[in-house]
Amino acid sequence: MRKFQRFVSAASSLAVVTLACASPSYAQETSEKKEPFACAAAPEPVVSLSIGSRYKEGSSTRSDISEESNDEVNQALEPVEDFINALSGMANAAYLGEDDSKANADCVMTWLGAWASGDALTELNSLNAKLAVSPRLSGLALAYLQAKTLATPDAARDEKIIAWFAKQGEAVIEFFDTEAGPLASTNNLRAWATLATAAIGTITADDPTLTWARDGYKTLVCGAEESGALPAEMERGERALHYQLHAVAPLVVAITLLDPKGEADEEYCSAKLQTIAEFTFNAVQDPQIVADLVGKGQVYSDGEDDDLAPYQLAWAEPYLARYPNPALDAYVAPLRPLRYSKLGGDLTAVYQDGDAKPQ
């Protein structure tokens, strides 16, 4: 049976979440690095972001992808995605105790310090940019949480990073409370905002931010259908299953931050979360389950690909650490390692069996 153990400890007056240590196989792979780690200069901060919709104009279900628009969105987001991918790799290496763990941790903080100093991601000039920022903030904040305790302290830099995260969290909350609209406030976009604010609230130790994250989590999880289907995602036509997966992922990671020891199962509708996960897993094995509900065959991606990508099941690792499920474990085994930078990087390494990493 998988072990789940997570600590929340104070470090420089911050709450820092500690994740489970790496599997032996991961340690063996990473131990083969021959050259010492050298921190590259931080990429230029992306301050301003303006993106359009991925969907064809007039798509009532927001599921009809425009190939041209989709490419334009991906291109606009690419510098941010590259930054997060590199950052999560260094954060994993730091947290998982590689030979250069301290150097990697210092580099994570240096890069975040550069983006904080540059006020990155603070000029969001379109509705879709504001909707898209929460998953990116999730990845940045989770990388911070993995690296912070091992990094060399730098009071000025650290204060700047924390203030930047705090400002980002406030902006997310204000946007969803005043501008996002009812659909975004009840679907996968709110799920990602929940994870972003859960991680940021953990960094800043800010109760209002954490309360907002808790409220969003409970709205989405406790409000799911009895079957485990998420109502807002079932309105997405042929991409209903894709968006069900896209919502489940941040919710599963968010609960590890909001209730790290699993002491408030009833408050956080633990039974319903398991129902949601079971429904999602069953639908992955048999997409006709969702097709019958929505009246359309299902595709898994934002493009036209019918194939499931391994990253779409990365949430299984934190889920299995909390709720052992042999069938799900066996299903994802050949897909490992499961990586998703916006959820914390290599989740197989982070959540595999093993004793919790000591502080």
Name the class of domain 7-351. mainly alpha
Q: Is the predicted pLDDT of residue 166 greater than 60, yes or no?
A: yes
pTM of the predicted structure, to 2 decimals: 0.88
Report whether pLDDT(333) > 70: yes
- Quote the pLDDT of residue 359: 33
What local confidence, expressed as pLDDT, does residue 197 receive? 98
User: Would you say 37 and 108 are in contact if contact means Cβ atoms under 8 Å apart?
Assistant: no
Query: Please, are residues 98 and 34 in contact by the beta-carbon 8 Å criterion?
Result: no
CA angle 206/208/210 to nearest 5° reads 70
**Residue 123 CB: number of other CB atoms within 10 A?**
12
* Cα torsion 140, 142, 147, 153: sign: positive
Give pLDDT, residue 334: 97
Q: Are strands 48-49 and 14-18 parallel, antiparallel or unpaired?
A: unpaired
> What are the pLDDT digits (tens) for 255-305?
999 999 999 999 999 999 999 999 999 999 999 999 999 999 998 865 555
Q: Which of 352, 304, 327 is nearest to 67 (CA)?
A: 304
Residue position matching structure tokens 């069953």 = 282
Q: How far is CA 143 from CA 3, 84, 147, 218, in A?
A: 22, 8, 6, 25
Comparison of pLDDT for 5 and 204, the residue scoring more: 204
pLDDT 10s digits, 225-259: 999 999 999 999 999 999 999 999 999 999 999 99
Encoded tokens for 209: 């931010």
Distance CA 341, CA 286 (A): 27
Mean pLDDT to the nearest integer, 313-317: 98
- Which tens digits make up the pLDDT trace of 71-117? 999 999 999 999 999 999 999 999 998 889 999 999 999 999 999 99
Retrieve residue 199's tokens.
Answer: 């991680």
Q: What residues does each domain of the chain span? A: 7-351
